[in-house]
Amino acid sequence: MSTIAYLGLGIMGRGMAANLLKAGHGVTVWNRTAERCAPLVALGARQAATPAHAVADAEVVLYCLSDDHAVEDLVWGEGRLIDAVRPGQIVLDMTTVHPNTSRKESAAFAEKGVDFLDAPVFGSKNEAANGGLWIVVGGKREVYETVLPLLEPLSETTHYMGENGRGASMKLVGNLVVAFQLEAIGEAMVLATKAGLDPRDVLGVLHVTDFKSPIFDGVGGALVRRDFDVNFALKLMLKDANLIASFAQDLNVPLPGGAAIRENIKVGVNRGWGEENASAFIKVIEEGAGVQVKA
């Protein structure tokens, strides 16, 4: 069993830290808002007052924060993680960040004799809680193989994508597909509703066709129930859409569809739905059509 530090106990981090504890690892947790550590302490975690205290005895350090700015704060800013790590430790960043941020982290940790993996995850609240995430990893293959036993209780599958930055790149590629699926089910359900189709009948057909998708089932079902409770916040989806746009810009890849979806997400956040589930931007499509999808 390993000695682990888990930093950042948001929706994703708290599920992953709990699964590491359940797998029998010794876990020390830290979160910027200290009260959020309580449920993990109840499961047997040790709570640290600072990131430096959390990583002092750790063999492996994992963190999952909201965005690139939070990672900058933890590593080089207030958290000063870069001063706290020791040679021989392994650090995994599970946040969705720009691949350039992953490469910057990797270079900085390498100077300290620390191996780094970018290891963002697909899945949201339920998959994090149930150990059903899909993890995409960039970094040295031998380091990936060393940490695989730790990733198993967190994930349904893990995927080695190549050098540092490639895990982060895969995550943005996947999130582009997710964005299209949300836009697709939103536009389809709004059109169907305005055409007088019963939304449940529409979902019944989509569920069995050769273009079915678990996202269509999940988001479509929540849409007819008007359930926008947060699994993955719309404000974070906007963050990801901005990352995808910047990543594509760096590579001079046109993403006309992605750009259109980003505009809808932006409007949704400006309408005050940023703290709701990512699917809440479908309300922007509804407003455009003057209908509401409900059973």
Please, are residues 40 and 10 in contact by the beta-carbon 8 Å criterion? no
CB of 157 to ligand NA7, least distance (A): 17
CB-nearer residue toward ligand NA7: 31 or 89? 31
CB-nearer residue toward ligand NA7: 120 or 220? 120
CB of 120 to ligand NA7, least distance (A): 7
Residues 6+ apart with CB under 8 A from 287: none
- Kindly state the helix (H) or strand (E) to which residue 117 belongs, with its residue range: strand 115-118
Residue nearest ligand NA7, Cβ-based:
10
CB of 294 to ligand NA7, least distance (A): 26
224: its two tokens: 């007819």
Q: Which residues pair with 77 in a beta bridge?
A: none
CB-nearer residue toward ligand NA7: 151 or 189? 151
CB-nearer residue toward ligand NA7: 116 or 193? 116
CB of 29 to ligand NA7, least distance (A): 10
Q: What does the binding site for ligand NA7 look like in residue numbers (CB under 6 A)?
A: 8-13, 31-33, 36, 64-67, 70, 73-74, 95-96, 232, 236, 240
Q: How far apart, in Å, are the Cα atoms of 204 and each of 167, 217, 218, 221, 294?
A: 35, 9, 12, 10, 14
As a whole number of angstroms, the distance between CA 146 and CA 29 comes to: 21
CB of 201 to ligand NA7, least distance (A): 33
Exposed e or buried b per residue across 64-82, where buried means at least 16 C-beta atoms within 10 angstroms of its C-beta: bbbbbebbbbbbeeebebb
CB-nearer residue toward ligand NA7: 276 or 286? 276
